[in-house]
Amino acid sequence: MESVVASCRCFSPLLVPRAQRSGKLVLPPARASVSRNRVQSGFSGQQLIRLHPGSHPSVKSRRLPLGAARAHSHSTPSAVPPTPQYEDLSILDNISRFIYKKINAVLAPYLPKEFDYLDWLPESIHRKFHNSEAAAILVVRELLHFGLYYYLFVQTDGLCKLLHRLYNLKFKETPEYGEETFKTSNFHVLTAPIQLLIVVWAVTRFIGVCAPLLRIPLAPGLIFKTRETSVVVAVTWFCLKWKRKYVDSLTKTYKLDAPRIIAFDKVVSLILYVIALSCIGEVNGFALRSLLAVGGFSGVALGLAAKEIVSNFFGGALLFITRPFVIGERIKAGSFAGYVQDIGFLQTKLLSAERVPMLVPNQNFINQVITNYSRANNKLLEAEFPIRIQDIFLVDKITTRVTLCLKSHQDVDSGAKTPVCYLKSVHEQGVQLAVQCVVRPSGGSEFYRVQQAILIRVAEIIVCEGASLGSSGEWDPDIPTMDFAIESAAM
């Protein structure tokens, strides 16, 4: 019983007001109470009002009987009408009154007759309460409110899981209820926005109750504007999270269209932000139509001042529409070259061959010739081999054999361009043989590997035919001679 008394001591209805002064703030009850045993009074959200100097508030030093205090406080006339009720919920008032009566019946025999459970409050706050059931019912009712808010906040995740399960039972042939399935569903993105709304509702409720007690003036409609703004923010937050999840699933499914999907994602995000700001402005009373009218006249001046920004913006839009390159490709545009890492609305991020990131304004790509190396299916390979002037009569055999070797090579694309080997020039220092062919690897380490293999094979053929590489001197390496038919079959 002592633990019950200690835990519920704050609900005792016995209040003793402090020093008698004129014009003190009191809490008028909604209905007059007649006796302690049959109490019919309640507290339906009334705010504090100021009594006239002629009124007779209770005096803390002069203890009055409970019934007399109630009768006196309820019969005191007031020229100021009560303020509008704040979210009057009669069911919570009735529950609060019921809990108050039960606790009062249990604790009354164990507490002093003139016990003041608000004596610990500061003087400025203590004088705002009077000796009636209204204060106790206020405390109980607000505790019920915040208890309900806390319960809803904790159970938000469970509520979303329940909705996910009901959705699977209704629309899925093979319902799944695992934790991983829930986290990948659209119901998981509901949790954070709903919890945000609950927190805002609880905070505004607390401010609406405590502000009159602490004499803090609130702007008209501040509570409701704050809640309406929180609804807009929560809905926008949910839309952005849902869009992000949907875009991620699309990029995994359609990898080739990932750049267009990312562009669509950015455009939709921009539209959502604009709509959210417009709604917040309308909720808080900003005249958006007037701002748009003024913006129409100042748009030209603003456009001229922000010419570079507008050019970069439209340049980025053209990049998203025409797609001359996408993220991950190797390009060259004028003096800029590298791998594309990101394409933004105003600038594009490139990673150079030296692994140095570069931010290039989008307008630089509009009038530039863009070379996209990553989209090339093959690449032209060109090389020259110098031989001695006295080996000019071996050129015919060398070129024929090299051409046949290149045509049979598996990495040479003969359909794109016929490989050739020919005598390019003759001068006093020697003879120049040229080789041209198209190889399938278009870049990277694979291209260099194929290039090395082909050039070494051409050099071997030149030496095997009895010619010497170089414009002067003799070079006769020991290279094994192999039959041409066997060589062609091996290639």
Give the per-residue pLDDT at 45.
41
> Which tokens is 58 given?
């209770």
**CA 276, 278, 280 angle in degrees (round to 5)?**
70
More confident residue, 294 or 439: 439
> Which tokens is 286 given?
């900003």
486 has a pLDDT exceeding 50: no
| 298 band by pLDDT with thresholds 50, 70 and 90 | low
Give the per-residue pLDDT at 267.
81
Average pLDDT over residues 429-442: 87
> What is the tens place of the pLDDT at every residue in 50-94?
333 334 444 444 444 443 333 344 444 433 334 444 444 566 667
| 296 band by pLDDT with thresholds 50, 70 and 90 | low
> Which tokens is 243 given?
């869009």
What are the domain boundaries of the chain?
Answer: 2-149, 155-286, 304-374, 376-490
> What is the tens place of the pLDDT at every residue in 180-193?
777 777 788 888 89
The amino acid present at 108, given as its one-letter code, is A
In a 3-state reduction of DSSP, which class is residue 2? helix
How far apart (Å, rounded) are the C-alpha atoms in residues 349 and 367?
18
> Which tokens is 305 given?
């001042």
| 126 band by pLDDT with thresholds 50, 70 and 90 | low
> Which tokens is 381 given?
């390979």
Residue 386 burial (CB count, 10 A): 17
More confident residue, 102 or 374: 374
Return the percentage of the chain with pLDDT > 90, whole number. Answer: 11
> What is the tens place of the pLDDT at every residue in 387-403?
988 888 999 999 999 99
Give the per-residue pLDDT at 36.
36
**Length of the chain measured in residues:** 491
Name which CATH class applies to 376-490. alpha beta
Give the per-residue pLDDT at 114.
65
Residue 106 burial (CB count, 10 A): 14
> Which tokens is 91 given?
């069911």
Q: What is the residue whose two structure tokens read 């060259």?
A: 332
What is the 3 state secondary structure string of 319-384? HHHHCCCCCCCEEEECCEEEEEEEECCCEEEEECCCCCEEEEEHHHHCCCCEEEHHHCCCEEEEEE
In a 3-state reduction of DSSP, which class is residue 413? coil
Average pLDDT over residues 129-147: 69
304-374 — its CATH code?
2.30.30.60
What distances in angstroms separate CA 209 from CA 93, 180, 470, one per listed residue?
A: 15, 42, 98
Q: Is it true that 304-374 and 376-490 share their CATH fold?
A: no
More confident residue, 40 or 137: 137
DSSP character at residue 109: G
| 482 band by pLDDT with thresholds 50, 70 and 90 | very low
